[in-house]
Amino acid sequence: MLELIDLKAILIIAMIFIPLERLLPLYADQKMLRKHWLNDVIYLFFNGILIKLGFVALVGAMMFAIRLVIPEGMFAVVQAQPIWLQAIEVTLVADIGFYLAHRAFHSVPFLWKFHSVHHSIEEMDWLAAHRVHPVDQIATMTASMLPVYALGFSGSAIAIYAFMYQAQSLLIHSNTRIRFGPLKWVLASPQFHHWHHANERQAYDKNFAGQLPFIDALAGTLYMPERMPRVYGTDDPVPPLYHQQLAYPLKQIAGRVPAAEVSAQTGDSRP
């Protein structure tokens, strides 16, 4: 199990983002040990194990079937391209898949039960990026990466994409006031993704892309005013603890979680 937890990487990430959020905070009055921070530490250390195991099993089975129908020669053509070009293509292909899966998790009530766990974040920071239900993450990663693997992109190009995706995911959730200027229309920024998490009516179901905001612009789902959101989270009765959040979608689907009960647990008085 310890092999699935990269303690060195976690330490490096913490040493980068904790000082960054202190030096360039979006909300200076937000505490480093904000509400439910310990719950998200559990996600950071243990959620990745479930996701990695589930993703490898699912994609491995699907790739076995795909290899039977895709000619080997296509892989050679794709991998003959320069690495930098492959990396750009991987990012585009993966983010289109991410967009479609992400939008589905907002549009289909069954899927939203899982995705609402991520939207239960009420104070944004780098740590909050890890609060994702395993079912949500496994399905989204599969939709994003399966086309990449099926097309036969090189391991180096995929590694470049994976590094950039992870770094960007942490940054766009972070409590920082970093702006991208004109690049905000090309690369996802904290401004772009914070609006996705905003609990404000006009921002609902906007900004689905993971890295490329122009996909939302083309699809008509871009929302990025100059001001930053005032309120984050969801009105869904998502419970506060890790084990409760894992079980929450299944109990919701079975109709076994009274909203009043969860509101009492979380202290959330909103409807």
Contacts of 137 (CB under 8 A, 6+ apart): 47, 51, 55
Q: In the structure, what pLDDT confidence band is assigned to residue 265 with cuts at 50, 70 and 90? A: very low
Could you report the per-residue pLDDT of 118-171, keeping only the tens digit for each?
Answer: 999 999 999 999 999 999 999 999 999 999 999 999 999 999 999 999 999 999
- Can you give the C-alpha Rg of the chain in angstroms? 19
Helices (H), the chain: 7-23, 37-42, 48-67, 72-79, 83-107, 109-119, 134-151, 155-173, 190-197, 213-219, 242-254, 259-266
Question: Which residue type occupies 158?
Answer: I
Q: Does 257 have pLDDT greater than 60?
A: no
pLDDT, one tens digit per residue, over 20-30 is 999 999 999 99
Which residues neighbour 132 within 8 Å (Cβ) at sequence distance 6 or greater?
A: 43, 47, 51, 117, 118
Arithmetic mean of pLDDT, 215-231: 96
Name residue 63's amino acid.
M
pTM for the whole structure: 0.90
Please report the DSSP string for 245-263 in residue order. Answer: HHHHHHHHHHT---HHHHH
Q: Tally Cβ neighbours within 10 Å of residue 134.
A: 20
Long-range contacts of the stretch 111-117 (C-beta < 8 A, 24+) = 111/136, 111/139, 113/248, 113/249, 113/252, 113/253, 114/249, 116/234, 116/236, 116/238, 116/249, 117/238, 117/245, 117/248, 117/249
Tokens of 210: 């993971």
Write out pLDDT tens, residues 168-219: 999 999 999 999 999 999 999 999 999 999 999 999 999 999 999 999 999 9
The C-alpha atoms of residue 17 and residue 119 are separated, in whole angstroms, by 21
Whether the Cβ atoms of residue 232 and residue 206 lie closer than 8 Å to each other: no
Asked if residues 124 and 240 have their Cβ atoms less than 8 Å apart, the reply is no
Eight-class DSSP state of 73: H
Tokens representing residue 51 in the block: 């996701």
d(CA 42, CA 172): 20
pLDDT band at 76 (very low <50, low <70, confident <90, very high): confident
Residue 4 has what pLDDT? 60
Distance CA 96, CA 133 (A): 21
What six digits make up the tokens of 25?
A: 């905070």
For residue 263, what pLDDT is reported? 43
Dig out the tokens for 155 from the structure.
Answer: 């391991």
